[in-house]
Amino acid sequence: DAGITQSPRYKITETGRQVTLMCHQTWSHSYMFWYRQDLGHGLRLIYYSAAADITDKGEVPDGYVVSRSKTENFPLTLESATRSQTSVYFCASSESRGGSSYNEQFFGPGTRLTVL
């Protein structure tokens, strides 16, 4: 199916473990983003990528690592999970219009992560 998918949809892990959240899009969008959503903080940008092999930090990058070897995939890794990383994680993508600021972002279904 076309669109943007995330896996797993739900994950429970323990403090200190490494966790990787997957994001896959079939639109060939250049830009991909990772957000976390927490009560009281709304949606916050963790990392983004403008193209394969180009990534940059967002508002709350500490404790997270990303890579983008293929345009369609943008995995997010928590190298050593902490309880404060319990959250709902959303991946999003958008087209590139030559530097235009008019790009709409489309979101995946989200991953609910609990760190015990």
Does 22 sit near another protein (CB under 8 A)? no
Amino acid, single-letter form, for residue 25: Q
Does 106 sit near another protein (CB under 8 A)? yes
What is d(CA 5, CA 44) in angstroms, rounded to the nearest whole number? Answer: 19
Contact segment (CB under 8 A) with another protein among 14-22, 63-71, 78-86, 101-109 equals: 101-109
What residues between 34 and 73 interact with another protein by CB under 8 A?
40-43, 45, 48, 50, 56, 58
Nearer of residues 9 and 17 to another protein, judged by Cβ: 9
What residues between 71 and 90 interact with another protein by CB under 8 A?
90
The single residue among 19, 25, 110, 113 that binds another protein, judged by CB under 8 A, is 110
What is d(CA 46, CA 88) in angstroms, rounded to the nearest whole number? Answer: 12
- Structure-block tokens of residue 50: 């403008």
Please report, for residues 50, 73, 82, 95, 105, the alpha-carbon distance to residue 10 in angstroms, rounded to integers and kept in the order given: 27, 19, 16, 28, 23
The single residue among 24, 31, 66, 115 that binds another protein, judged by CB under 8 A, is 31
The burial class, CB within 10 Å (0-12 / 13-18 / 19+), for 32 is buried
Tell me which residues touch another protein (CB under 8 A).
31, 40-43, 45, 48, 50, 56, 58, 90, 94, 99-110
